[in-house]
Amino acid sequence: MAETKKLLRALAGEVQDVPPIWMMRQAGRYLPEYRATRAQAGDFLSLCYNPELAAEVTLQPIRRYGFDAAILFADILLVPQALGADLWFVTGEGPRLSTITQQPDFDALKPVEEIHETLSPVYETVRILSRELPSETTLIGFAGAPWTVATYMIAGRGTPDQGPAHALREENTALFEALLERITLATIEYLSAQIEAGAEVVKIFDSWAGSLKGDAFQKYAVEPCRVITQAIKQRHPSIPVIGFPREAGDGYIGFAKSTGVDCVALDNSVSPDWAAERVQVNGCVQGNLASSHMVTGGQALVDETRRIVEAFSKGPHIFNLGHGITPDADPENVQLMIDTVRSWRNA
């Protein structure tokens, strides 16, 4: 049977008149209905571990906008928590975790087989979503890439330059690589369980890939993504994988070939013309409107949206932002972006 879901068609390499569209962090604080459900859950982590409410916030942007894909509502930092790290969120500041800087911190982590004890509510969220989503909407599961997850586990928080993780990588390479390997294996099991529960695509978020340069980029961004993608494809050959090595710059070139991902997600630091020529030649790309347009709106949003759709119109493309939508975004600007994408051929 021919595939009818627009997102899966793009991932299979089909060039479409109008690209499928969804948005990173589409379930989030810019939506009043999200804020209401989050208040009902109590806090962010309680929302992540409550399957009914997590499914509800996942569905909210689908109901409001009719996006072509829904992304499971969860967080990349649930994997460290499932491996035994303490995790909490400080309102207005972000995540905090117990740190991993010495061998005993690593030795105290749980084995990979035990992650499902913590993560099983996430799989239940996926099961609810695969029942409740409209038949044309694709369900995306996700995880953080090992390097990005490790930066939080090592520093115990978000850092502007990932300094503590780079320091450990240089000073205790064996410990750093053991941590990356544990996260890699946990991520394979986590994504496989999401797929078995009904996820149709998985995305690997390497938000801090841009701070790895040269050989380190190959070893700690490309290689773990290749290992995870290969394992997923071995177990679930029909499941497409999206890779997001954010701010990789020239590292985007050849990333699909060297990792085996079906689609490369682009941040907005690369121009769509540059990426069409150098990255889209190897297959589907996703991106890459600056999320600031969701705050500022107006003609600039329309012009930039059209420029991106046009630049990528000769190959497979999934329209998206270059990074997550921010809490100060105006929900009406999201509608304007969608209308612009869906009507660009008539403009």
| Catalytic (active-site) positions | 25, 29, 38, 75, 152
Which lies closer to ligand CP3 via its Cβ, residue 71 or residue 227?
71
> What does the buried/exposed string (b/e) look like for 22-60 if buried means 16 or more CB atoms within 10 Å of the residue's CB?
bbbbbbbebbebbeebbeebeeebebbbbbebbbbbbbb
Burial class (CB in 10 A: 0-12, 13-18, 19+), 1: exposed
User: Which H or E element spans position 286?
Assistant: strand 284-289
The binding site for ligand CP3 (CB under 6 A) comprises: 24-29, 38, 44, 71, 73, 75-77, 94-95, 142, 144, 158, 205, 207, 324
Strands 138-144 vs 94-97: parallel, antiparallel or unpaired: unpaired
User: Which H or E element spans position 32?
Assistant: helix 32-41
Residue 21 CB, shortest distance to ligand CP3, in Å, is 14
Burial class (CB in 10 A: 0-12, 13-18, 19+), 166: middle
Residue 203 CB, shortest distance to ligand CP3, in Å, is 7
Which lies closer to ligand CP3 via its Cβ, residue 72 or residue 311?
72
Residue 43 CB, shortest distance to ligand CP3, in Å, is 8
* Amino acid at site 156: G
Per the CB < 8 A criterion, the answer to whether 232 and 191 are in contact is yes
Per the CB < 8 A criterion, the answer to whether 211 and 161 are in contact is yes
Per the CB < 8 A criterion, the answer to whether 268 and 262 are in contact is no
Q: CA nearest 322: which of 260, 271, 256, 263?
A: 271
Which lies closer to ligand CP3 via its Cβ, residue 71 or residue 212?
71
Give dist(CA 210, CA 222) in Å, integer: 12
β partners of residue 69: 138
Lookup: tokens for 4 = 């009818």
Residue 103 CB, shortest distance to ligand CP3, in Å, is 26
User: Which H or E element spans position 119?
Assistant: helix 115-132
Which lies closer to ligand CP3 via its Cβ, residue 206 or residue 311?
206
DSSP string, 134-198: -TTPEEEEEEE-HHHHHHHHHHSB--SS-HHHHHHHHH-HHHHHHHHHHHHHHHHHHHHHHHHHT
Which lies closer to ligand CP3 via its Cβ, residue 141 or residue 316?
141
Which lies closer to ligand CP3 via its Cβ, residue 27 or residue 284?
27
For the stretch 104-107, contacts whose Cβ atoms lie closer than 8 Å and that sit 24 or more positions apart, written own/partner, are 106/175, 106/178, 106/179, 106/182
Q: Which residue has the closest beta carbon to ligand CP3?
A: 207
Which lies closer to ligand CP3 via its Cβ, residue 154 or residue 311?
154
